[in-house]
Chain A
Amino acid sequence: MDFDFSDEQRMLKESIEQLINDRYGFEQRKKYLKEPAGFSRELWDQYAEMGLLGLPFEERHGGVGGGPVETMIVMEAFGRGLVLEPYLATVVMCGGLVNLGGNEAQRNAILPKIADGSLMLAFAHSEAQSRYDLADVAALAKRDADGWLLSGEKSFVAHGNCADQFIVSARIAGERNARDGIGLFLVNAKAPGVTRTSYETQDARRAARLNLDGVKVNSNDAIGDPGKALPLIERIADHTLAAVAAEAVGAMSAAHEATLEYLRTRKQFGAAIGSFQVLQHRAVDILVALEQARSMAFYATMMAGEPDPAQRSKAISAATIQIRKSGRFIGQQVVQLHGGIGMTLEYKIGHYFKRLTSMESLLGDTDHHLAALARAGGLIAAGA
């Protein structure tokens, strides 16, 4: 057993943390929010230069051949900085779908462009009615002479505002929530019949609703075997949850540190408020919640590559449950311990709370994962 990072991993961690420290101060972040796409294009290019955008891809696709641990390192730093760039959508989700599900021609066409920062993608999957059921896809793909015609609506496309291309899930056969019959298609954002409505989310990020009205795609723009996409979608959803677990841990630890600093410096009743025992205990409760979350983020990272999908999903659900529990407690308590200033948009602590809150409904809320884990028999087998 070894929780130590390799030398390369340590270097990656240091360089990304340095970048976030230097470039993602709270005031700097406010400027990025005001850019047209709601994040910093310049930093996106810088991530490309550092190799972050090709992190999980092979070298022949312009990548650096990193694994889940490298993704965890990057996402944790991004969580600390409340980073706005569409890394999760472009690299983890769409990069992952193409890398693991696409053919060699698609990998060659797309992955190098993700890696060099010239192409952004977003995953258009959730629909208004689907909530947390990954198999619930009502958008339709109809056979057309030399390809497919897509129609339907995707209500929540994270970072869909800035995507050059979408990966759209649509049903080629079966009932609305049948496991079989789902296909994935690459769709140019400017293709005729594509309408996007961009909007902001509660954590100051951007997303879009996508309307597809008979959008034409070629046969070779289908990712994998059309009709058999659900296992790939589930795999990428698990990778995403593992990445978000690391991001959450970054956000929680930064919020925890800022709160400790506040407890040491804020004075009331002639003393630092950190000298009040009830607040000391609360800070310890936060630490316990944080370390429980950190452990489960490691677990998610280790299990993200597990070949048996049932084992993988069970582990990811378990990690997600802990992350949500810790995230809610820590988000609420860091605000509480800051008093009035914790409630303002002018101070960073409330933004950590909001980001942690918005993670709670990403790819399944706590109850969804609890039900899934319980259905799968939990983590510990019944004794003889």
Chain B
Amino acid sequence: MDLRFTPEENQFREEVRAFFRTALPASIRKKMELGQRISKEDTVTWQRILNAKGWAVPGWPVEWGGTDWGPVKTYIFREEMQLAPAPDPLGFNVSMVGPVLIAFGSDAQKKHFLPKVANLDYWFCQGFSEPGAGSDLASLRTSAKREGDHYIVNGQKIWTSRAQHADWMFCLVRTSNEGKRQEGISYLLIDVTTPGLTIRPIYTIDGEHHFNEVFFDNVRVPAENLVGQENKGWTYAKYLLGHERVGIARIGASKYRLQRAKALAQTVMIGDVPLGETERFREKVAAVEVELKALEITQMRVVANARHLAPGAADPTSSILKLKGTELQQATTEILMEVAGPDAMIHEPEHLWATATTPSIGPEWTTTTAADYFITRAASIYGGSNEIQKNVIAKRILGL
């Protein structure tokens, strides 16, 4: 038992850090440091830089542009990326549709899609949730009927993040109403420019056009865009739950927020004393740091344990990572809110978007704090709400 990284792992960390220092464009770094929003172009630019280095999809097999890093190095890479701070590559591409295609896609699909997914030539969005099917995803009703060599898709998706940027959607559709609900679902890839598909924006409480409603009115999807077998889509979607758990807690991002909060708290005066020197503030931050350290070690345990698992199998402990990880992300945004104080309440979206031409009313760094706090509330809702996570843990881990 040894909690320390090996010299080789430490050297790898240095290498990764050095790369981020030089390769991350200054304009993107600045936005990340200030907590400003990253545009579509920024995400594409950065993912292509990573891809050119061979680091856009480290978890994929080498033959599809991945690496042979294994869990520990992948973990180090993720953490350094969040601390850089660099944007995440597009999760829908890298951690969702890519791994599903690798595991279940046809050779033709792999050849066509995977390079474009890795290089973000195709931007994928996730069409799972529907108005009537959120936590209870298996009750989804958007239907796909086979007609010759096409599926005809009708129905509606909702909360589809970034569909406005997307070229493609990976979509769960109902292809059968017989038997168990889970056994009538298929996994389709849909070109979002297909006639009959319309996208309506929905704004999140941070003021951003974050997600959308997507309507399907007799949308014709070539049958070759079915992934795997008909009516097996649920299994493919669930496969992701056991995949890529490393980094789901976003510990690096929480650490970065605390670093930032501690530095900024030195610039905010409470009477004659910087906020960062007051005992109350220090104790509050320290308490979060303790929990974060505990979760970091839990995460390392999961990472280190991965080599003992069968390929594709999930470590039950990994469910805890999302639960606690989202709580701590939210806690760190609350701390930043307290540092920014009344200035956080000034709403200057052009500063959030880095498009401002005039100085902000308060300090520049306070213009992103509330948006960060607001949108991070969603972390305990999407990807399986924290209530659902607890149901799963109670059932699967505790056997209750």
Contact = CB atoms under 8 A, between A and B. Distances in A.
Contact of B280 (A203, A362, A371): A371
A269 B204 CA distance: 26
B377 A332 contact: yes
Contacts of B390: 278
Given A199-B348, A336-B380, A269 B129 contact: no
- The listed residue with most A CB atoms (<10 A of its CB), out of B378, B380, B390, is B378
B183 interface: no
Interface stretch (B69-77, B145-153, B264-272): B264-272
Contact of A354 (B205, B342, B378, B382): B205
B341 A199 contact: no
Interface string B353-392: 0000000011000000010011101101110011100100
Given A339-B381, A340-B134, A345 B203 contact: yes
A332 B379 CA distance: 12
A351 B204 CA distance: 11
Given A177-B271, A344-B202, A354-B205, A336 B345 contact: no
B77 to A, nearest CB: 30
Contact of A278 (B202, B270, B343, B387): B387
Given A131-B270, A268-B136, A339-B381, 15 more contacts: A131-B341, A199-B348, A200-B348, A203-B345, A204-B347, A340-B134, A340-B381, A343-B381, A345-B203, A353-B377, A357-B373, A357-B374, A361-B341, A361-B342, A365-B338
A128 interface: yes
Nearest to B136: A268
Interface string B118-154: 0000000000010010111001000000000000000
A200 B347 contact: yes
Nearest to A349: B205
Given A131-B341, A268-B135, A350 B129 contact: no
B203 A361 contact: no
Contact of A126 (B280, B342, B373, B387): B342
Interface residue SS majority, chain B: mixed
Given A365-B338, A371-B280, A343 B205 contact: yes
A128 B360 CA distance: 12
B159 interface: yes
B344 interface: yes
Contacts of A351: 205
Interface in A327-361: 332, 335-336, 339-340, 342-346, 350-351, 353-354, 357-358, 360-361
A361 B158 contact: no
B269 A269 contact: no
Contacts of A78: none
A277 to B, nearest CB: 11
24 contacts: A133-B270, A136-B271, A155-B361, A197-B361, A200-B347, A200-B348, A202-B347, A202-B370, A268-B139, A332-B330, A336-B377, A336-B381, A339-B135, A339-B381, A340-B158, A340-B211, A344-B205, A345-B207, A353-B377, A354-B205, A357-B374, A365-B338, A367-B338, A370-B280
A156 interface: yes
Contacts of A204: 347
Contacts of A156: 342, 345-346
A278 B387 CA distance: 8
A131 B377 contact: no
A200 B233 CA distance: 46
Interface residues of A, number: 49
A156 B158 CA distance: 38
B281 interface: yes
B280 A367 contact: yes
Contact of A350 (B134, B205, B348): B205
Contacts of B159: 340
A344 B203 contact: yes
A202 B203 contact: no
A128 B377 contact: no
A155 B338 CA distance: 18
Contacts of A128: 362
Nearest to B158: A340
Contacts, number: 117
Nearest to B159: A340
A207 interface: yes
B370 A269 contact: no
Given A339-B135, A345-B203, A201 B378 contact: no
B341 A207 contact: no
A365 B341 contact: yes
A199 to B, nearest CB: 6
B345 A132 contact: no
Nearest to A278: B387
A132 B341 CA distance: 9
A312 interface: no
A178 interface: no
B345 A202 contact: yes
A199 B382 CA distance: 32
List 6 A-B pairs, minimum CB-CB distance, nearest first: A350-B205, A268-B136, A345-B203, A200-B347, A361-B342, A340-B159
Given A131-B341, A155-B361, A339-B134, A201 B346 contact: yes
Interface in A106-162: 126, 128-129, 131-133, 136, 155-156
Contacts of B347: 199-202, 204
A367 B203 contact: no
B249 to A, nearest CB: 19
Contacts of A345: 203-205, 207
Nearest to B342: A361
A209 interface: yes
B137 to A, nearest CB: 9
Contacts of B385: 336, 339
Contacts of A278: 387, 390
Contact of B345 (A276, A346, A358): A358
Contacts of B271: 133, 136, 177
Nearest to A128: B362
B381 to A, nearest CB: 6
A43 interface: no
A345 B361 CA distance: 24
Contacts of B375: 343
A329 B158 CA distance: 27
A288 interface: no
A289 to B, nearest CB: 17
Interface in A16-40: none
A279 interface: yes
A269 B205 contact: no
A362 B344 CA distance: 11
Given A131-B341, A278-B390, A339-B135, A344 B361 contact: no
- The listed residue with most A CB atoms (<10 A of its CB), out of B129, B202, B345, is B345
B348 A342 contact: no
A156 B362 CA distance: 9
